[in-house]
Amino acid sequence: MADVQIELKSGGAVHSAAAGGDLRGPENSSVEYRQRQKLDRYLNFFSTLAFSVTLLASWETAGGSLAAGLYNGGPAVIVYGIIVSALGNLAIAASLAELASIHPTAGAQYHWTYMLAPRYRRFLSFFQGWVTVFSWAALACIAPYFIGTEIEGMAVLSHPEYEAKRWQGTLLMWAVLILPIIINIFARRVLAVIEVAAGVMHVIFLPVTIATFVILAPRNSNAFVWDTFVSGLSGWQNPGVVYSVGLLGVITPFSGVDGVIHMSEEVNNPKVTVPRSMVWGTLMNFLMAFGYVIAILYCMGNYAEALESPTGYPIIEIAYQATGSKAATYVLMTMGILPAWIAFFNCLASVTRLTWAFARDNGLPFSDFFVKVDPYYKIPIRALFLVTTLVIALSFIQIGSSDAFNAILSLSTLGLYISYLIPLVLLVLKRFTAPADIPQGSYSLGQWGLPINLTAILFATYFSIFLPFPSALPVTGENMNYAGPVLGFVMLFACGDWVVRGRHKWNGPSMGYLRE
């Protein structure tokens, strides 16, 4: 049946398509209130690219998560691990970009899962939606946590007698949240300008930081940077396990390569702009993160002092050893914190759009409430406050146990890779079973599609296996990595919600809200 358009009172159009499960459209196209909720398109290519580049905040995050690699594997894990992580995430970004060029939508993964699944597409897309939304909510905790506790660490550097408390770190997390919420609500139009400014800072501050280390710090040998493998600190003995567990510090900087996809419905010409922004953003972040960690490893001072720093962050101790000045250390840390903080503006916007999209497709309880787009501010404020509430709720975990909260951070990365795996595995299956049903978008991998998809699946599977591993042995209640159990609970909750509510309410994502 040929596509027809039905005009809505709001001015949007719903595309009604024949029933089927291919990429040309989902089965349902109901004209409901929630599908009339739409966003303005105001982001161009440069602001979208800046969004993608700053959202990952790769070199800033690599500095904050340096302890994971130093504790398990040392310099060799950091140097070669970041190459492994970048190659894997580039393959994932390229594979998702191809799907985004066909259907750029805020729902992204759960939308594509519905269209690609040969069977059980309603359940699989519903399950996918819950995993993706929760993983992004957990990911939204990373920037406030790093920034808040780094500020606390600098207070320790300034006043060694100060004993940092976990509850104080939680309060600092809340303080970090305030301005991003205000900007997302009251300055939505300014967000594009902020993204470009943050992109400039993200790029400019890096060579300034590297130059400072190179000029002021003594040099480590080539052998230290490229050949040193440290084991035995964490209790893990097998070199392969030590290496894989230590990868957490270089995987985290690339978490969220799909972030810009969730802004698709506010991007002009998204079928072209979004895929290019994803791939270029990931590549640029790899180059910056790689240059940064190489410079840090060549210029770091005493290894043990950095790892055991009372500030809680090796990078703070490394900067202090390099400069010999607390004031210079504060400046260096600020140059990392500022673009990372502004990147959180983007992260909050992205996860809000994803949550809103899931509500628009009736995936959340009380979806009719959370789908509302404010007619004045033109953003889904209720979804924004839902995400903020989740971040605040998760931040309480740190008060009880910083190790448990760190597990929440690794949970976000684990959940995201699982959210990538589901549509990519289904895409590969469709390449074998019904390749004619896969339309070509503006961004196509061509004959390289299958090998790149398989590479992405391989890396995502590898990362997903080791992300739940505890960072040290023996495993206790304090150092236990709770990422696996928490994600398992989320998956069980999604299945329970499907049985109780979802199977009656969820008909899959609608195509009606997509506009060219």
Q: What is the DSSP code (8-state) at residue 366?
A: T
Q: What total of structural domains would you count in the chain? A: 1
The single-letter code of the amino acid at 336 is G
Question: Treating both helix axes as pointing N-terminal to C-terminal, what angle do 483-497 and 402-433 enclose, rounded to 10 degrees?
Answer: 60
Report whether pLDDT(230) > 60.
yes
- The answer to which of 182-196, 219-233, 290-304, 360-374 has the lowest mean pLDDT is 182-196
Could you tell me if residue 510 is inside a domain?
Answer: no
> What pTM was computed for the model?
0.86
- Whether residue 400 has pLDDT greater than 80: no
Query: Does position 221 have pLDDT exceeding 50, yes or no?
Result: yes
Q: Are 95 and 455 contacting, i.e. CB atoms less than 8 angstroms apart?
A: no
Residue 30 pLDDT:
42
Using DSSP, state whether 409 is helix, strand or coil: helix
Among 20-24, 37-41, 285-289, which range has the highest average pLDDT? 285-289
Q: pLDDT at residue 84 above 50? A: yes
In a domain, 300, yes or no: yes
Q: How far is CA 227 from CA 76, 78, 85, 221, in A?
A: 6, 11, 19, 10
Is 133 within 8 Å of 475 (Cβ atoms)? no
With pLDDT > 90 as the criterion, what percentage of the chain qualifies? 46
Domain span at 395:
4-505
**Confidence grade of residue 511 (pLDDT, cut at 50, 70, 90):** low
Structural tokens at position 331 = 């400046």
The DSSP output letter for 73 is B
Is 513 within the bounds of a domain? no
* pLDDT of 113: 93
Kindly write down the DSSP assignment for every residue of 438-499, as one continuous string. Answer: S---SS--GGGHHHHHHHHHHHHHHHHHHTTS-SSSS--TTT---HHHHHHHHHHHHHHHII
d(CA 306, CA 295): 15
Q: Is residue 383 part of a domain?
A: yes
Average pLDDT over residues 72-92: 94
Q: What is the DSSP string of 161-220?
A: T----HHHHHHHHHHHHHHHHHHHHH-GGGHHHHHHHHHHHHHHHHHHHHHHHHHHSPPP
Residues 436-451: what's their mean pLDDT?
A: 85
**Residue 5: left if φ>0, alpha if ψ -120 to 50, beta else—which one?**
beta
Q: Is residue 515 part of a domain?
A: no
pLDDT band (50, 70, 90) for residue 40: low
Binned at pLDDT 50, 70 and 90, residue 51 comes out as: confident
Q: Is 6 helix (H, G, I), strand (E, B) or coil?
A: strand
Average pLDDT over residues 21-47: 56
**CATH number of the domain within which 326 lies:** 1.20.1740.10
Of the candidates 258, 214, 291, the one whose C-alpha atom is nearest the C-alpha of residue 109 is 258
pLDDT of res. 232: 78
H/E stretch holding 293 reads helix 270-299
Q: Worst-scoring range by mean pLDDT, 144-153, 185-194, 308-317?
A: 185-194
pLDDT digits (tens, 9 = 90+) for 474-509: 887 777 788 888 889 999 999 999 999 999 999 888
- Would you say residue 514 lies in a domain? no
